[in-house]
Amino acid sequence: MKKLFVWILSATLCVSLAACASAPADNTAQNTADTTQDITDAAQDITDETDTTQDITGETAEPLTEAEAAYQAKVAELEPAEGETDVHWVVFPCGTGEKILVIAPSVYGEGETMEGDVYQYADGEVKFIASVSSTGTAYPLAFTPEGLIFGGNHMSGKLVIHDGTGELYQIKDVNIEGRTPVLEVYDVLNGEGTLKSAEELSTEQADAMDYYIGAFADGTAEIIGFE
């Protein structure tokens, strides 16, 4: 774009100088005025083209939503002092489509994590919902159309979030000799859970209900990538 401007400017000045050399002295002021107008018009054309390019490419950032602004403020509160571990975070739609914030203490691989604190903006504030954790690096946190999922060799779970609260579903003690798998459901808020129900399952039921493996098997899961 700068090269185009220089070319137009050079061409305009060359034409103007040639005209000045052959024109009478009393036309100098008029020629100068014409040259100035030509340069102004050329600059405006370039500005208009630049604006159009920005509109097409989407370079102009969309204003933050109220929730996004609140999440950024929350992350800023948690920014570490110099020399300390970075804050890893991500905002994404989950479950009902409302955006949630997940903050991880650490990441590995291509920005995955095994654990994180989950927040949602509701009623004018960022609310801490719960902490979730997988039990191995082979089970990074992921999300589905239903909610956030986590897993392990002997457990799986999902966190469904709505209106600033959450429901935590967790299948425990799967394929552990001498133990019966159980499905527990909790209401969660501020990192605390209230048990709603507990149901014993057969090993076959637990395997069939596995929230983590099942979601990846049917193609509805996506691993969360952190900043």
Domain boundaries, the chain: 2-57, 66-223
Give residue 127's pLDDT: 95
pLDDT at 21 exceeding the cut of 70? no
Neighbours of 71 (CB within 10 A): 23
pLDDT confidence of residue 80? 66
Confidence band of 62 (pLDDT split at 50, 70, 90): confident
For the sheet with 99-104, list strands across it: 88-93, 99-104, 115-122, 125-133
Q: Is the pLDDT of residue 30 over 50?
A: yes
pLDDT greater than 60 at residue 68: yes
Over residues 169-182, mean pLDDT? 95
Question: Phi and psi dihedrals of 90, rounded to 5?
Answer: -155, 145
Question: Which residues, at least 6 apart from 52, have a Cβ–Cβ distance to it below 8 Å?
Answer: none
Q: What's the average model confidence in pLDDT over 182-195?
A: 96
CA 58 to chain centroid = 17
Q: What is the pLDDT of residue 141?
A: 97
Residue 181, both tokens: 């798998």
How much is the pTM? 0.70
For 202-225, the pLDDT digits (tens) are 999 999 999 999 999 999 999 999
Quote the CA–CA distance of 138 and 130 in Å, as a whole number.
Answer: 22
The helix or strand, by DSSP H or E, that contains position 34, with its residue range, turns out to be helix 28-57
Helix ranges (H only) for the chain are: 2-22, 28-57, 66-78, 203-209, 211-217
Q: What is the arithmetic mean of pLDDT over 118-142?
A: 95
Here the tokens at position 7 are: 């070319």
Tokens of 157: 């779970």
Angle 72-74-80 (CA atoms, 0-180°, nearest 5)?
A: 100
pLDDT at 9 over 50: no
**Mean pLDDT, residues 88-96:** 80
Contact 147, 159 (CB under 8 A): yes
For residues 181 and 200, give the distance between their C-alpha atoms in angstroms, rounded to a whole number: 6
Instruction: Please give the Cα distance from 30 to 119 (Å, whole number).
Output: 67
| Residue 1 to residue 146: CA distance in whole angstroms | 47
- The letter for the amino acid at 226 is F
